[in-house]
Amino acid sequence: MSGILYAISTPIGNLDDITQRALKTLNSVDYILCEDTRVSSKLLSKFDIKSKLIPYHKFNEKELLHNVINDLENNLNIALISDAGTPCISDPGRVLVNALFDKSIKVVPVCGPCAISTLLSAAPKNNEEFAFVGFIPRNSNEQKELFEKYSNIDTVFYESPNRILKTLQNIKNFRGANAKITMGRELTKIYEEIKYSTVNGLIEHFSERPPKGEFVILLYKAETNSEEDINIDKKIKLLSQKGFSAKDISIIISTLFNMNKNAIYKKLTENKL
């Protein structure tokens, strides 16, 4: 028998969102792994939790891995928390959880707040499908590749206030000024803001109001026009008849019409045209 690692969700803003189960578990474990002791100590202090805090973040998680596993194998129970939200969701913990499954050590989730589900519960949606990509790349070309890859599905990602305007501008460049977005920031806090708009509308909004707080963005899948699709298909067929390869056609069409290169290639290789 070994100890248990409890992956515990903590509030993303409003400390009253902590669950009774989370409080009970944090009180009972031998120690708590946290991103930043200064942040987590405020939570523990509010609820009079005396368990020891040990810093565990992306810069030391591999270094501490052996010690944590050894403690669990010696029947200690340990909690894993992030500064806010659910561990392993764009936060440290994945390295540890992967290692524990390899060793058949039990991992127990203690569910609670998460910025993704918080935004999605208050955003207009046409279906339940979405792709979560974490923090998106800073490089514009890498962002373009990501937006092309997920153009056919709603995409959720995190962004910092320092980069949000640049990222919105990139979305405008790649998807057009009328691309639809639901933006959430300061979720569950006093100045919480959830806004559904076009990317152009959000750029104007935050150009007048300096962006603050962490952002969660829902970028809706690219809208298509059926008549335009038919015309594109005709162009693809014409290029194919002229002897262009599927690879060349996908590059040409995606460049000229700002479309998903992979989707065009898939159409050609599956003989859908």
pLDDT at 227: 45
pLDDT for residue 266: 78
What is the rounded CA–CA span in Å between residue 57 and residue 64?
A: 10
Q: How far apart are CA 28 and CA 23, in angstroms?
A: 9
Diameter over CA atoms, the chain: 74
215, 161 contact by CB (below 8 A): yes
Q: In this predicted structure, what is the pLDDT of residue 233?
A: 78
Q: What does pTM read for this prediction?
A: 0.78
User: Which long-range contacts does 92-99 make (Cβ < 8 Å, 24+ apart)?
Assistant: 92/35, 92/56, 92/57, 92/58, 92/61, 93/7, 93/61, 95/61, 95/62, 95/65, 96/5, 96/33, 96/56, 96/61, 96/65, 96/68, 97/5, 97/7, 99/65, 99/69
Tell the CATH superfamily of the 5-113 domain.
Tetrapyrrole methylase, N-terminal domain (3.40.1010.10)
CATH class of 116-219: alpha beta
pLDDT (tens place) for every residue of the chain, 273 residues total: 799 999 999 999 999 999 999 999 999 999 999 999 999 999 999 999 999 999 999 899 999 999 999 999 999 999 999 999 999 998 889 999 999 999 999 999 999 999 999 999 999 998 999 999 999 999 999 999 999 899 999 999 999 999 999 999 999 998 889 999 999 999 999 999 999 999 999 999 999 888 999 999 999 998 765 445 557 778 888 888 888 998 899 888 888 877 778 878 877 876 555
User: What's residue 226's pLDDT?
Assistant: 46
The pLDDT value recorded for residue 257 is: 77
Alpha carbon distances (Å) from 4 to 29, 74, 84, 104, 210: 9, 10, 21, 11, 44
The burial of 51, by beta-carbon neighbours within 10 Å (0-12 exposed, 13-18 middle, 19 or more buried), is given as: middle
Among candidate residues 163, 167, 161, 192, the one with its CA nearest the CA of residue 181: 167
Q: Give the pLDDT confidence score for residue 261 in this predicted structure.
A: 81
**φ, ψ (nearest 5 deg) of residue 60:** -130, 5
